[in-house]
């Protein structure tokens, strides 16, 4: 950890081999295992994973509120191991917003600028706060105390306190998780917009995989303290690296079907009881790499198509439930002791019949481009490239 | 913003109002009685039937002043104020440290602090007396201040620690990230949020000290006489001076009422805890 400061090629954030354990009831509990990421200035990395995956701990380590057991953090080309939290220049937006309840909106936004080491004169600081409050449309609230604000307004104040700073790293820990869906949509775009164009690396942590895909230039998926995948939203969406990543993404998430591989007439076939899917192209090549016969087939809900029950190559199934959402519908189908979700058009949903066609037999088609094959033993994606 | 729907309806409201008034009257009657005794001539004091109307007299007041009871009042006031102020100054950082910092044997130490409060005062007053006799603190202002601090400090630390625990630690972390030092964070963030708790707890400490008799009686003396200790002097060989007792009793009541009245807002918020919301 005390290696000499290495000059890096960029002066964003570099985290290498970050590990952390907490002991609970005398048992060490591994929270983070060798997480390594880099975020360039101006880049937004979305950090996602189920709750308890270690996102918050990772953010706290980057901010200097927690010490890693191993690993190094480098910010702006400087090793951070011995730099205390207050001198790292990390602007952190807490999940709970952490607004000072006894200070007004203005007082809250001014606080980081008044802190020792602030380079702005009081007049300049005032001006800066005014600009940011104006930008976030909360200028009229500046005399209010946080207790008198709505959730969305508090969130904006927290954002204002973040944006007045000129940090070396922006850290947003679940910034919009506690807002209702409508506000979440509104503020997600807004925050993204305010942060873009600033020459500062940003990390946005969220338990919502779809939120991560929509805000991040790149997305890092953490689960059980391990970095499962790091890539562009497109890569992660199209080629989830493991079943854990696949479970986290999509609304509804990818259907994961455990089954076996076999060969029939020279073709690779995925079988689970009555369900048989012939794998072709890249999937067939991917199947060659499986460590055993057991695999998991991931099928994207929007890839599955409906067909007549007796159509050739169609998989027979039964409609279990049918939920129309206005512009699309989610149909749950019974594949024989296994339920899978299909995202389909309203027209298709209505065509299933009265009462949503519950109990009706249908045929399903599984197109190759909508499927990913995972190794049954490791849960890692099998590549056919 | 009166909400008609939430207001009790006519007859029910009247019932409750009456009930509360009757209750208040019962509770306040002894105080009224004591107040009337302050100006009642001695011959009307216990007259049967009770004399509700009498010519008021100021005799009791002049006797009390002649006997120098106002010095006891001053002694009590200064003693309680100084000891409470010291408790706040020493106890606030202690309570914060107990709530926030990890240290070896913290729980044991805390239990020890609590234990010193749990012990019956009679058990403590004898060692106090022996120690004070040896170091020459008997009948001294400093001695009583120290004694009051001892038992109030443990109470104060104990109560204020839970106030500190209720403060979200993120606030302090947010301030630390902004670059504020530990002392500045305490002054800028922790102290303002603890203010109601500090006021409520210190008022209780003040009242404990104000009402305290045993320590003041044992460790005080001619030089340092607090108000509670002075009252029994009115039981004289010529009889009990009830009127004078009422005067001193009422005087003892007034500072406590005044403190509670002025700081009411803080006390209510402080005692209901959890007043800090983001």
Residues B65-86: tens digit of each pLDDT: 998 899 999 999 999 999 999 9
Helix/strand/coil (H, E, C) string of chain B? CCCHHHCCCHHHHHHHHHHHHHHHHHHHHHHHHHHHHHCCCHHHCCCCCCCCCCCCCCHHHHHHHHCCHHHHHHHHHHHHHHHHHHHHHHHHHHHHHHHHCCCCCHHHHHHHHHHHHHCCHHHHHHHHHHHHHHHCCCCCHHHHHHHHHHHHHHHHHHHHHHHHHHCCHHHHHHHHHHCCCHHHHHHHHHHHHHHHHHHHHHHHHHHHHHHCCHHHHHHCCCCCCCHHHHHHHHEECCEECHHHHHHHHHHHHHHHHHHHHHCHHHHHHHHCCCCCCC
Closest residue, chain B, to A108 (C-alpha): B175
| Of residues A85, A94, A154, nearest to B170 (C-beta) | A94
Closest CA to A88 of B5, B248, B179: B179
How buried is A320 (Cβ within 10 angstroms: 0-12 exposed, 13-18 middle, 19+ buried)? middle
Q: Does A147 touch chain B (CB under 8 A)?
A: yes
> What does the pLDDT look like over A312-366, one tens digit per residue?
777 888 888 888 888 888 888 888 778 888 888 888 888 887 777 788 888 888 8
How is residue A367 written in tokens? 């197109």
Please give, rounded to a whole number of angstroms, the shortest distance from the CA of A168 to a CA of chain B. Answer: 12
Cβ–Cβ of A101/B276 closer than 8 Å? yes
Q: Which residues of A touch B278 (CB under 8 A)?
A: 96-99, 101, 146-147, 154
Closest residue, chain A, to B172 (C-alpha): A98
Contact of A299 with A338, CB cutoff 8 Å? no
CA neighbours closer than 13 Å in the CB half-sphere of residue B216 = 20
Average pLDDT over residues B120-138: 91
- Chain B residues interacting with chain A (CB cutoff of 8 angstroms): 168, 170-171, 173-181, 184, 189, 192-193, 276-278
Selected residue with higher pLDDT from B264 and B134: B134
Alpha-carbon distance A79 to B195, whole Å? Answer: 40
Cβ–Cβ of A116/B173 closer than 8 Å? no
Alpha-carbon distance A212 to B116, whole Å? Answer: 55
Q: Which of B178, B180, B274, B276 to mutate to test the interface with A (most CBs of A within 10 A)?
A: B178
Is residue B123 left, alpha or beta, with left meaning phi > 0 and alpha meaning psi from -120 to 50?
alpha
Let me know how long chain B is. Answer: 278
- Please tell me which of A116-125, B109-118, B222-231 the model is most confident about, judged by mean pLDDT: B222-231
Average pLDDT over residues A268-289: 81
Q: Which residues of A touch B180 (CB under 8 A)?
A: 86, 115-116
Alpha-carbon distance A161 to A105, whole Å? Answer: 9
The percent of residues in chain B predicted with pLDDT above 90, rounded, is 51
**Mean pLDDT of all residues belonging to chain A:** 85
How is residue A225 written in tokens? 């303290």
Sign of torsion, CA A342 A346 A352 A354?
positive
How many contacts, defined by CB atoms under 8 Å, are there between A and B? 65
Please give, rounded to a whole number of angstroms, the shortest distance from the CA of A111 to a CA of chain B. Answer: 7
Average pLDDT over residues A153-170: 89
Residue B277 banded pLDDT, cuts 50, 70, 90: very low
Helix (H, G, I), strand (E, B) or coil at A163: helix
Cβ–Cβ of B179/A99 closer than 8 Å? no
Q: Which residues of B touch A165 (CB under 8 A)?
A: 178
pLDDT at B275 over 60: no
Cβ–Cβ of A94/B173 closer than 8 Å? yes
Alpha-carbon distance B36 to B29, whole Å? Answer: 10
| Of residues B177, B189, B276, nearest to A86 (C-beta) | B177
pLDDT at B2 over 70: no
Q: Does A99 touch chain B (CB under 8 A)?
A: yes
- pLDDT the model gives residue A324: 86
pLDDT at B243 over 80: yes
Helix (H, G, I), strand (E, B) or coil at A111: helix
Closest residue, chain B, to A103 (C-alpha): B189
Residue B188 banded pLDDT, cuts 50, 70, 90: very high
pLDDT at B273 over 80: no
- pLDDT the model gives residue B112: 84
Alpha-carbon distance A323 to A327, whole Å? Answer: 11
pLDDT at B155 over 80: yes
Closest CA to A334 of A324, A322, A350: A322
Alpha-carbon distance B196 to B202, whole Å? Answer: 10
**Any idea which residue has 């001014």 for tokens?**
A110
The percent of residues in chain A predicted with pLDDT above 90, rounded, is 14
Q: Which of B174, B175, B195, B277 to mutate to test the interface with A (most CBs of A within 10 A)?
A: B174
Is residue A134 left, alpha or beta, with left meaning phi > 0 and alpha meaning psi from -120 to 50?
alpha
Contact of A231 with A48, CB cutoff 8 Å? no
Alpha-carbon distance B94 to B65, whole Å? Answer: 42
- pLDDT the model gives residue A376: 82
Cβ–Cβ of B177/A154 closer than 8 Å? no
pTM comes to 0.77
Alpha-carbon distance A89 to A166, whole Å? Answer: 8
How is residue B116 written in tokens? 């010193």
Report how far Cα A20 is from the mean position of its chain's Cα atoms.
21
Cβ–Cβ of B179/A87 closer than 8 Å? yes
CA neighbours closer than 13 Å in the CB half-sphere of residue A255 = 23
- pLDDT the model gives residue B175: 93
Please give, rounded to a whole number of angstroms, the shortest distance from the CA of B184 to a CA of chain A. Answer: 9
């Amino acid at each position: 950890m005390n290696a000499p400061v290495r000059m890096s090629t960029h002066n964003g954030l570099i985290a290498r081999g970050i590990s952390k354990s907490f002991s609970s009831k005398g048992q060490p509990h591994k929270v983070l295992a060798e997480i390594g990421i880099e975020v360039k200035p101006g880049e937004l990395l979305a950090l996602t994973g189920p709750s308890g995956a270690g996102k918050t701990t990772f953010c706290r380590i980057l901010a200097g509120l927690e010490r890693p057991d191993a690993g190094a953090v480098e910010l702006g080309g400087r090793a951070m191991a011995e730099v205390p939290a207050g001198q790292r220049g990390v602007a952190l937006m807490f999940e709970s917003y952490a607004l000072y309840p006894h200070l007004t909106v203005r007082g809250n936004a001014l606080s980081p600028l008044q802190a020792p080491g602030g380079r702005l004169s009081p007049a300049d600081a005032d001006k800066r706060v005014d600009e940011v409050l104006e930008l976030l449309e909360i200028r009229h609230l500046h005399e209010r105390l946080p207790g008198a604000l709505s959730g969305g307004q508090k969130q904006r104040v927290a954002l204002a306190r973040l944006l007045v700073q000129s940090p070396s790293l922006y850290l947003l820990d679940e910034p919009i998780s506690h807002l209702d869906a409508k506000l979440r949509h509104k503020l997600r775009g807004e925050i993204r917009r305010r942060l873009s164009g600033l020459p500062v690396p940003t990390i946005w942590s969220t338990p919502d995989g779809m939120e991560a895909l929509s805000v991040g230039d790149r997305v890092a998926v953490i689960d059980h303290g391990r970095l499962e995948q790091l890539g562009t939203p497109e890569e992660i969406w199209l080629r989830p690296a493991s079943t854990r990543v696949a479970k986290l993404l999509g609304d509804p998430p990818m259907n994961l079907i455990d089954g076996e591989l076999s060969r029939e007439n020279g073709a690779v076939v995925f079988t689970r009881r009555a369900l048989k899917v012939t794998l072709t192209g890249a999937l067939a090549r991917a199947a060659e790499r499986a460590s055993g016969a057991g695999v998991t087939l991931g099928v994207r809900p929007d890839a599955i198509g409906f067909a007549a029950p007796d159509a050739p190559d169609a998989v027979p199934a039964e409609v279990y439930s049918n939920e129309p959402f206005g512009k699309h519908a989610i149909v749950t189908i019974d594949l024989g002791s296994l339920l899978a979700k299909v995202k389909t058009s309203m027209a298709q949903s209505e065509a299933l019949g009265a009462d949503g066609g519950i109990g009706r037999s249908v045929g399903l088609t599984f197109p190759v481009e909508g499927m990913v094959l995972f190794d049954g033993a490791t849960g890692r994606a099998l590549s056919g490239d | 913003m009166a909400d008609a729907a939430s207001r009790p309806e006519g007859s029910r409201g009247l019932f409750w109002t009456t009930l509360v008034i009757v209750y208040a009257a019962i509770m306040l009657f002894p105080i009224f009685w004591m107040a009337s005794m302050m100006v009642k001539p001695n011959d009307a004091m216990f007259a049967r039937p009770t004399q509700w109307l009498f010519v008021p007299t100021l005799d009791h007041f002049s006797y009390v002043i002649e006997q120098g009871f106002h010095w006891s009042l001053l002694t009590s006031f200064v003693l309680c104020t100084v000891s409470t102020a010291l408790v706040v100054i020493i106890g606030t950082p202690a309570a914060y440290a107990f709530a926030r910092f990890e240290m070896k044997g913290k729980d044991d130490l805390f239990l020890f602090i609590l234990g010193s409060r749990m012990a019956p005062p009679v058990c403590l007053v004898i060692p106090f007396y022996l120690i004070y006799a040896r170091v020459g603190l008997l009948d001294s202002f400093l001695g009583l201040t120290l004694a009051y601090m001892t038992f109030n400090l443990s109470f104060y630390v104990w109560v204020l620690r839970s106030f500190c625990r209720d403060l979200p630690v993120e606030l302090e972390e947010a301030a630390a990230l902004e670059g504020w030092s530990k002392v500045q964070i305490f002054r800028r963030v922790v102290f303002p949020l603890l203010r109601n708790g500090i006021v409520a707890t210190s008022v209780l400490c003040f009242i404990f000290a104000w009402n305290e008799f045993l320590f003041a009686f044992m460790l005080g003396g001619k030089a340092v006489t607090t108000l509670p200790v002075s009252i029994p002097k009115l039981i004289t060989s010529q009889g009990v001076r009830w009127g004078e007792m009422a005067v001193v009793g009422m005087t003892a009541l007034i500072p406590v009422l005044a403190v509670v009245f002025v700081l009411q807002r803080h006390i209510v918020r402080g005692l209901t805890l959890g007043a800090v919301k983001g």
